[in-house]
Structure 1
Amino acid sequence: MAPDMGTTVETERGLVYGPSGKQLDVYRPAEAPRPAPTVLLWHGIGPDERDVLEPLASTAAAHGLLVLVPDWRSDAADGGRAHLLESLAFARKEAGGLGGDGESFVLAGWSAGAGAALGVALRPESVEGWRPRAVVGLAGRYDLQARTTGAAPLADLDAGREPGVPVHLVHGSRDPVVEARYSRDLAEALRAAGRTVPLQEPDTDHAGVIMTAYDPATDRCVPTTAEHAVRAGRAVAEVLTEAAGGGGAA
C-alpha cells in the first residue's frame, strides 16, 4: 500500500540483523533530515511476518520516520526472545548508519510484539539498562509473559516496576482476536501508578489496526484498502510520529 503523505519512501529489504541470520526491512523517507526519528516495530505471533507490517511501516516512514521491521519466530525454543533482542541490539548499533537514531528510538509492537516491547521498558536490565524513547503497543495483551523478558507486564507493574518512558496504546474497538479490554486494563494499571497513558480505540479489528485484513486462505494478514483499516493505520502512524518526537507524558 502506498503511503498517504506525498513523501517518497525508500525501502531496503533483507538486512541480516544478528547471529540467527534473521532479516529485517528498513523504511525511510527520501531526502529527509538525518538522523530521522526512529521506530523498531515488531510483528505478532506469526513466524517471520515482517511483510505484514509493510503498509503501516511505509505510512509511518512517509511521516518522516525511519522504521525497522524485523522477522522473529514465536515458535523458536525460547519463544522468540533471542530474535527480538538481536533485532534490538542491531537497531541500537546500526540505526545511525541507516539514517536514524540508534541511541533514542521508539520500541513498538503489534499483538504479541506489543507485550514484548513493553517488557523491555519494564525490565531494562535485560538490555544492559537501555530503555526506548517510548513504547507504542498495538492490539496487545499484557497479562501474558512478554517474549523478551518472560514476565507479564501487568505482573511487573503490580510488583512496582515502572516503564520509565511514555507508553502509547492503540487497540481496535472491534478486535475479536485480542479484545480491547486488554489495553484498557494496562492503561488503568499505568494510570493507577500516576502515568498519563493515551489509549485510542479506532473502529477496526485486529488486522485493521495495522492497515491489513486477515486472509483465511493464506492464514496471513494482507494489505487492504478498507476505509476503517486505512483510517486506523494512519492514526497509528501519527501515534508513532508523536512518540518518536517526544510527545506524550513520561
Structure 2
Amino acid sequence: MAPDMGMTDRTVETVRGLVYGPGGKQLDVHRPAGASGALPTVLLWHGIGPDERDVLEPLARTTAALGVLVLVPDWRSDAADGGRSQLLESLAFGRKEADGLGGDGASYVLAGWSAGAGAALGVALRPDAVAEWRPRAVVAVAGRYDLPARTTGTAPLDDLAAGHDPGVPVHLLHGTRDTVVDAHYSRDLAATLRTAGRAVTLQEPQTDHAGVIMTAYDPAADRCVPTTAEHAVRAGRLVGGVLAAAGA
C-alpha cells in the first residue's frame, strides 16, 4: 500500500503505511513539519493488541511536535513467536532508515507502552539479541517487567538478577490509576535498578493505563481511542516530554 500523508495540524507531518519488513508489516512516521537537519529519533512500540500503531498516534504526534522523529510500527502479539521477529524487524528498519527519514541514528531512543515497554527494556538488557547494539535510552510506559519480554523471551527483572546491565538511562512512567497493569511493577523495577546503581527515573502521572498515552479505552471498539480528557492530555504531554528529552 502506498504511504498516506495525513496532517491534523500545521506543526506535525505524518506519513502512514511504510512497509518495514519482509512480512509486509507497516509503520507510521511522525515528524515536525518543515524540519531540517537530523532529528532525535524514537521507535515507539504499542502494547499487546495486534496491529495497533494507530493507538499511539496522539502520543507520537505530541512527541514529534517537540522536535523528534517518531516511528510507530504495527506488530502482532498473537504471532507464532509472540511478535519477536516483527519487533526486531522494525528496530532494524528504524536503525537503517532513520537518517533518510530525517532522523539521527546516533540519538535513537527505544520506547514502548504496556507489553511494548518490557520489549524495549529487554533489548537494552540483552543486546546480544540485536548484534550487541543498545539505544541511547529506554522509555518504558505502563509495563510489567516480571514477564518474558517479547524481544528476548526473558523477564527484565530476571535479567537484572542475573547481572545484566541495561547500560543506558531507563525512564519509567506509569499512571497512578492504572488498573490494567498496577504501578507497583514500575516501582519495583525502579527500586531494583537504583539498588544496582543504574540510571533510572520514575514518574507517575495521575491517570490510567490508556490515559498515559492520551487515549481512553472504548469497550465497544475494544481498543483505546484518542481523548481530550484533561488527565490524559496532561499525562501524554509528560510522556512526550520525556521521550523528546531522552533523545536530545
| Range class of TM-score, shorter chain | over 0.9
**For residue 24 of structure 1, what is the amino acid of its counterpart?**
L
* CA RMSD across the alignment: 1.2
2:137–2:247: 8 Å Cα contact kept in structure 1? yes
Secondary structure of 2:107 counterpart: coil
Matches within 5 A, 1:115-154: 115-154=118-157
Gaps of 5+ in 1: 246-250
Equivalent in the alignment of 1:248: none
- For 1:202 and 1:172, how far apart are their aligned partners in 2? 5
Q: Deviations over 1:23-45 (max 9, x none)?
A: 00000001223210000000000
Gaps of 5+ in 2: 1-6
Q: Deviations over 1:64-116 (max 9, x none)?
A: 00000000000000000000000000001001100001243000000000000
Equivalent in the alignment of 2:4: none
1:7–1:62: 8 Å Cα contact kept in structure 2? no
Matches within 5 A, 1:1-250: 8-245=11-248
Displaced runs of 4+ in structure 1, greater than 2 A? none
Secondary structure of 2:39 counterpart: coil
**For residue 203 of structure 1, what is the amino acid of its counterpart?**
Q
Tell me the TM-score normalized by structure 2. Answer: 0.96
Q: CA deviation at 1:7?
A: 6.2
Q: CA deviation at 1:142?
A: 0.3
Secondary structure of 2:237 counterpart: helix
2:142–2:174: 8 Å Cα contact kept in structure 1? yes
Tell me the TM-score normalized by structure 1. Answer: 0.95
- For 1:63 and 1:8, how far apart are their aligned partners in 2? 9
- For 2:65 and 2:222, how far apart are their aligned partners in 1? 28
Identity, % of aligned positions: 78
Secondary structure of 2:110 counterpart: strand
